[in-house]
């Protein structure tokens, strides 16, 4: 016979009641026995029995053992029924006396999360991951509500943020609101900000103001409006140096001035300062070349980042009141000693101006140290990374390599720290820039099976590895790709030289730079080469030679050493023999030619090779570029590049090889002997070739066998 859950609960309750009654009975019997034993020596047995009967009115019977009258079996006790508040559950643990039951989390209830982020100076958006009817009703009751059917998002005015918080809190835990951080709300609480006034320009050297364009004056006014602590992030080639010198002239009372830049641009900075600030004595402008230099009396000191790192204590003792950090993205790593010294200098200085066309090279986390130099009390690293880098705790510590709320970060930067203009926005008269990808001739890449096997093995290592090993495998793959591409790049340059125009070619590895240099020298082309080993005092002369001398037709440049700080507007064609990990580095390199002063259209060509590391890096570049574009830090689009094939002088030999391999042929497959012996096989009657087809095949065959002066050099190129 089966019992219901109610019957089981009732039987269990009765059993517990019996056990409790039995315990009470045994306790009373023990007490009575103790008293009777004490009185036994003074009273008669009968009296003792009577006393025992008086003390123990309920005899020890079967009904007493089971707790009361037998007739009550199966019925609930009236006294127990009044005590219990609710029916007992089977096998449930009894709650402790006088204990308040804790609130149990709704495990099986789905929670709808609302994520808030700012989309303009006056409005914020709420994105939900589910539907809740009460939540929608609350949204509809907010006065400034606005619903976008296409994106299915609700937007509200900033003034209604507190009201929305209070009403959504009543739906907890069914609806949870992810709020906007306090440091963000404080910045946007005052509403839209007016444009900075240009009255401050009257206090700047008139010759500088006259040399500035309209958008450059706006940048100077912005930096002064921020108290001389700002990030000027105009696109490369828009004159950030002029704006920084103008801001420095406005704050002359806070000098001495320290300019930190790359080693290759120290001389150009000194030249610009002497040119734009003629009232500053020449002996007051110095460059820090070694740790032994005396800097006690200079008003303007120009130092490279490496010298700043080595002479940190010396610079701190001098007490610079104004700092200019050119190419400030160099300070992206907060663990580097160079960044630590820069942070210490920024804390003591009253004015800090950062210059960078690419403040973040690949991730939002790279901005934090630069923002800290401008305002150290803005927010902590944990707050910043949680909000904008999708920060999370991992097995290896705090992970801040992601990205989140990028639209809000873009607004925050433009409102508090940064001013950025692109060439398309402010330079409508600037010439166009066309980007192309050129697929190199594979016949120069896979010269033997060993090279192809090595490339395949490195590709397999990259695809199967993870984490740090994956990065190391890609670096090796990248290096081997340079060796494999060198002959194909040189073959393509041979065609470029025939176009009779000035061009720039960028490369990273020395093996590629050396191969290009050897190829141009073989063709007797006048060119310049600048890499990391070129002395800084010679760079200016080399650049001037390329710019002014018509016979100097090529510039072979290192991608890392020459992507900033030089102007090569005499070139109309920019070639990239190799790629780089960061899209910002490539964009900076492109701007060496496409900048103010360029009179003609600029063509940028990326020389790519299939089945090499280029396949991986090109995809990686497009992914990083998309992330930076959402923050407003990269306006280039590498995905819009048109693709072309590199010309092949040798023609295509595959049709002849296919025709030469008849089923019964005895010659070895793919040999030239077989091709020569069977180049004119019998043709089936139904597929007689036309005269035009024969002429094309003969021309291609003649082109293949025609001698070329550079074929032997390219085939036997020493890498």
pLDDT digits (tens, 9 = 90+) for 60-96: 443 444 344 444 434 444 444 444 444 544 445 555 5
Are 507 and 396 found together in one domain? no
Provide the residue count of the chain: 719
Q: What is the pLDDT of residues 709-719, one digit of tens each?
A: 544 444 444 44
Residue 617 lies in a domain: yes
Q: What share of the chain in percent tops pLDDT 90?
A: 31
Residue 611: give its domain's CATH number: 3.40.50.300
Nearest to 529 by CA among 566, 558, 496: 558
249 and 350 in a single domain? The answer is yes
Q: How confident is the model at residue 52 (pLDDT cuts 50, 70, 90)?
A: very low
The answer on 355 and 315 residing in a single domain is: yes
Is pLDDT of 470 > 80? yes
What is residue 204's predicted lDDT score, i.e. its pLDDT? Answer: 92
Tell me: do 370 and 282 sit in the same domain.
yes
pLDDT on residue 247: 95
On whether the CB atoms of residues 366 and 400 are closer than 8 A, the answer is no
**Same domain (yes/no): 412, 443:** no
Structural domain count, the chain: 3
Residue 45 lies in a domain: no
Give residues with Cβ within 8 angstroms of 32, minimum separation 6.
52, 55, 56
Q: What per-residue confidence (pLDDT) applies to 473?
A: 84
**Burial (Cβ within 10 Å: 0-12, 13-18, ≥19) of residue 217:** middle
Any idea what the CATH number is for the domain that residue 149 is in? 3.40.1170.30
Region 308-337: mean pLDDT is 91
Q: Answer yes or no: do 281 and 350 share one domain.
A: yes
Which pLDDT score, from 0 to 100, does residue 435 have?
86
Query: Is the peptide bond between 256 and the residue preceding it cis, with omega within 30 degrees of 0?
Result: yes
**pLDDT tens per residue across span 108-117:** 567 899 999 9
> Whole-angstrom Cα distance, residue 124 to residue 188?
10
Range scoring the smallest mean pLDDT among 339-353, 396-410, 644-658: 644-658
- The tally of CA atoms less than 13 A away on the side-chain side of residue 540 is 10
Q: Where do we find the tokens 């005052």? A: 190
| Whole-angstrom distance, CA of residue 260 vs CA of residue 326 | 6
Residue 77 lies in a domain: no
Cβ neighbours of residue 232 closer than 8 Å, sequence gap 6 or more = 219, 222, 223, 240, 243, 244, 353, 354, 355, 418, 419
| 356/453 same-domain check | no
> How much is the average pLDDT of 109-131?
89
In this prediction, residue 183 carries a pLDDT of: 92
Please state the rounded mean pLDDT for residues 666-691. 41
One domain for residues 607 and 630: yes
Q: What is the pLDDT of residues 197-237, one digit of tens each?
A: 999 999 998 889 988 988 999 999 999 999 999 999 998 87
Confirm whether 84 is domain-assigned. no
Specify the pLDDT at position 125: 93
The domain boundary, picked from 606, 626, 645, lies at: 645
Q: Using alpha carbons only, what angle is made at residue 203 by residues 200 and 204, rounded to the nearest 5 degrees?
A: 100
* 499 shares its domain with 528: yes
The answer on pLDDT for 658 being more than 70 is no
Token digits for 337?
A: 């000693």
Tell me the pLDDT tens digit for each residue of 549-565: 889 999 999 988 887 77
Mean pLDDT of the chain: 78
Short-list 249, 184, 226, 240, CA closest to 418: 226
Q: Give strand ranges (E) for 370-489.
A: 392-394, 397-399, 418-419, 433-439
If asked whether residues 552 and 621 sit together in one domain, one would say: yes
Amino acid 77: pLDDT: 43
Give a three-class secondary structure readout of 341-367: HHHHHHHHCCEEEEECCCCCCCCHHHH
Q: DSSP label at 442? A: G
**pLDDT confidence of residue 698:** 52
Residue 657 has pLDDT above 50, yes or no: no
Report the distance separating Cα 505 and Cα 500, nearest Å: 15
pLDDT, tens digit, 9 for 90 and up, residues 590-647: 888 887 777 788 889 999 988 888 888 888 888 877 777 666 655 565 555 555 555 5
Residues 403-440 pLDDT 10s: 889 889 999 999 999 999 887 787 765 677 888 888 88
| Residue 21 included in any domain | no
- The answer to whether residue 48 is domain-embedded is no
| 221 domain-assigned | yes
CATH number at residue 343: 3.40.50.10810
Considering only the C-alpha atoms of the chain, give the largest distance between any 2 of them, rounded to a whole number of Å: 148
Tell me which residue range forms the domain holding 280: 205-419
Residues 307 and 377 reside in one and the same domain: yes
Do 407 and 552 have their domain in common?
Answer: no
CA distance from start to end of the chain: 92
Of 619, 645, 671, which closes a domain?
A: 645
Residue 535 placed within a domain: yes
């Amino acid at each position: 016979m089966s019992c219901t859950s109610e019957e089981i609960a009732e039987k269990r309750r009765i059993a517990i009641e019996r056990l409790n009654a039995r315990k009470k009975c045994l306790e009373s019997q023990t007490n009575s026995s103790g008293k009777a034993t004490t009185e036994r020596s003074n009273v008669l047995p009968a009296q003792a029995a009577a006393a025992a009967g008086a003390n123990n009115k309920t005899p020890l019977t079967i009904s007493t053992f089971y707790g009361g009258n037998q007739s009550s079996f199966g019925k609930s006790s009236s006294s127990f029924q009044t005590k219990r508040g609710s029916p007992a559950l089977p096998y449930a643990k009894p709650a402790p006396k006088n204990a308040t039951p804790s609130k149990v989390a709704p495990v099986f209830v789905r929670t709808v999360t609302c994520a808030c982020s700012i989309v303009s100076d006056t409005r914020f958006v709420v994105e939900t991951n589910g539907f809740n009817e009460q939540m929608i009703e609350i949204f509809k009751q907010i006065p400034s509500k606005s619903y976008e059917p296409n994106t299915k998002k609700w937007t509200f005015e900033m003034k209604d943020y507190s009201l929305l918080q209070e009403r959504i809190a009543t739906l907890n835990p069914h609806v949870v609101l992810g709020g906007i951080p306090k440091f963000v709300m404080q910045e946007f609480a005052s509403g839209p900000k007016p444009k900075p006034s240009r009255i401050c320009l009257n206090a700047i050297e008139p010759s500088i103001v006259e040399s500035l364009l309209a958008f450059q004056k706006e940048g100077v006014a912005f930096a002064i409006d921020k108290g001389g602590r700002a990030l000027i992030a105009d696109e490369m080639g828009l004159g950030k140096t002029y704006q920084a010198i103008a801001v420095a002239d406005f704050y002359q009372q806070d000098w001495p001035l320290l300019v930190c830049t790359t080693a290759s641009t120290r001389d150009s900075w000194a030249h610009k300062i002497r040119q734009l600030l003629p009232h500053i004595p020449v002996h007051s402008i110095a460059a820090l070349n070694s740790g032994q230099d005396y800097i006690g009396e200079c008003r303007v000191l120009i130092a490279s980042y490496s010298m700043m790192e080595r002479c940190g204590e010396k610079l701190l003792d001098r007490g610079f009141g104004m700092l200019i950090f050119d190419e400030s993205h160099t300070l992206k790593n907060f663990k580097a000693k160079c960044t630590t010294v820069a942070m210490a200098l920024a804390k003591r200085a009253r004015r800090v101006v950062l210059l960078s066309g690419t403040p973040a090279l690949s991730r939002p986390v790279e901005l934090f140290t630069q923002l800290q130099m401008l305002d150290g009390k803005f927010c902590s690293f944990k707050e910043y990374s949680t909000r904008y880098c999708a920060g999370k705790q991992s097995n290896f510590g705090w992970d801040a390599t992601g990205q989140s709320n990028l639209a809000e970060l873009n607004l925050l930067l433009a409102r508090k720290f940064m001013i950025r203009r692109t060439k398309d926005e402010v330079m409508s008269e600037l010439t166009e820039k066309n980007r192309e990808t050129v697929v190199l001739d594979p016949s120069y890449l896979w010269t033997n099976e060993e090279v192809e096997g090595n490339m395949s093995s490195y590709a397999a290592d990259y695809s199967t590895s993870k984490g740090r090993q994956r990065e190391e495998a890609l670096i090796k793959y990248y290096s081997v790709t340079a060796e494999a591409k060198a002959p194909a790049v040189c073959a393509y340059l041979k065609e470029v030289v025939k176009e009779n125009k000035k061009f720039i070619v960028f490369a990273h590895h020395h093996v590629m730079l050396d191969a290009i240099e050897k190829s141009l020298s073989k063709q007797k082309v006048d060119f310049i080469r600048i890499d990391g080993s070129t002395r800084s005092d010679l760079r200016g002369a080399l650049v001037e030679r390329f710019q002014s001398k018509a016979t100097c037709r090529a510039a072979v440049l290192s991608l890392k050493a020459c992507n900033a700080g030089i102007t090569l507007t005499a070139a109309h064609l920019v070639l990239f023999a190799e790629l780089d990990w960061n899209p910002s580095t490539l964009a900076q390199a492109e701007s060496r030619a496409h900048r103010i002063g360029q009179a003609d259209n600029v063509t940028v060509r990326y020389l790519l090779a299939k089945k090499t590391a280029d396949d991986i890096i090109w995809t990686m570049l497009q992914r990083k570029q998309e992330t930076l574009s959402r923050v407003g830090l990269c306006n280039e689009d590498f995905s819009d590049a048109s693709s072309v094939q590199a010309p092949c002088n040798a023609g295509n030999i595959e049709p002849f090889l296919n025709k030469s391999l008849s089923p019964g042929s005895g010659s070895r497959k793919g040999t030239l002997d077989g091709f020569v012996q069977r180049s004119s096989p019998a043709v089936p009657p139904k597929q007689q070739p036309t005269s035009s087809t024969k002429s094309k095949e003969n021309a291609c065959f003649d082109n293949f066998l025609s001698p070329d002066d550079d074929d032997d050099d390219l085939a036997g190129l020493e890498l």
